[in-house]
């Protein structure tokens, strides 16, 4: 199970799963606010309106203070649907709901209640067959809420994206080609190691993937072609055609 700290910042290199997990954490914190709000008399009044699966739980400890299970206090229909549960479920323990004597994520839930630090982990429901993303957040003494989202489609999209990237990389290698980007705001190219290798260099040698037009021209272009490249860059930036292309 991969934990995600609620205070972790999403960087440009973060995966799609990271962004979604942080979004679920925001939902959980919003739920916490509803629980603390005096106008929200009962959690059941707000749960049915949420699209995410949301539930409230009570942590169960043994005489020594060790986490042994949890009890379901409230859940909305989406939570039950994601987990493949039906019928009366309020008051049932995790072991009763999922048919396991000890669930593998109990220690994580215990840490959420003990420290107040939310966490997010992957979980596959054997009842529904869905791959889920679960975010847990403490909502009071001995209690925590979970937000459950179906990650099956998200995983399929991510796997397809990774497969497409691998196929593109293979095609570029076979054709001895490379791709690059130009950032008009900073007037710099962004090259990867494949591009540098085709130019007889490497990312390690150049020290950075970024390079301005003048530096690129001096490093990799014959003298007689430098003005032509500068003109083409200027023409591309001035064009209003989204499909502008020159060869």
pLDDT tens, residue by residue, 195-243: 888 888 988 999 999 998 888 888 888 888 888 888 888 888 888 888 8
Contact partners, residue 179, CB within 8 Å, separation at least 6: 172, 192, 194, 195
| C-alpha span between 65 and 144 (Å, rounded) | 17
Is the distance from CB of 21 to CB of 121 less than 8 angstroms?
A: no
pTM: 0.51
Q: How far is CA 108 from the centre of its chain?
A: 19
Residue of higher predicted confidence among 100 and 20: 100
Determine the 3-state secondary structure of 136 from DSSP: strand
- Tell me the C-alpha distance between 183 and 35, whole Å: 46
- Residues 172-187: tens digit of each pLDDT: 888 888 888 888 888 8
Mean pLDDT of 79-95: 87
Q: Strand, coil or helix: what is 6?
A: coil
80 pLDDT tier (thresholds 50, 70, 90): confident
Supply the pLDDT for residue 161.
84
Question: Helix/strand/coil (H, E, C) string of 139-182?
Answer: EECCEEEEEEEECHHHHHHHHHHHHHHHHHHHHHHHHCCCCEEE
């Amino acid at each position: 199970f991969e934990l995600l700290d609620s205070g972790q910042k999403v960087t440009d290199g973060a995966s799609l799963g990271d962004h979604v997990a942080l979004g679920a954490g925001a939902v959980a914190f919003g739920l916490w606010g509803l629980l603390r709000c005096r106008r929200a008399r009962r959690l059941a009044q707000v749960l049915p309106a949420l699209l995410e699966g949301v539930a409230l739980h009570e942590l169960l400890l043994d005489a020594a203070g060790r986490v042994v299970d949890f009890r379901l206090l409230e859940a909305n229909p989406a939570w039950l649907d994601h987990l493949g549960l039906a019928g009366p479920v309020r008051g049932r323990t995790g072991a009763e709901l999922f048919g396991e004597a000890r669930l593998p994520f109990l220690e994580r839930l215990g840490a959420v209640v003990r420290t107040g630090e939310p966490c997010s982990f992957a979980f596959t429901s054997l009842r529904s067959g869905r791959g889920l993303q679960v975010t847990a957040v403490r909502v009071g003494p001995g209690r925590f809420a979970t937000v459950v989202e179906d990650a099956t489609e998200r995983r399929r999209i991510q796997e397809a994206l990774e497969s497409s990237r691998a196929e593109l990389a293979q095609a570029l290698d076979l054709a001895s080609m490379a791709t690059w980007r130009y950032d008009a705001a900073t007037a710099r190219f962004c090259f990867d190691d494949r591009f540098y290798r085709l130019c007889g260099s490497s990312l390690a040698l150049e020290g950075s993937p970024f390079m301005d037009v003048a530096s690129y021209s001096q490093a990799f272009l014959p003298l007689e072609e430098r003005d032509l490249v500068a003109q083409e860059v200027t023409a591309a930036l001035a064009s209003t055609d989204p499909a502008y292309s020159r060869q």
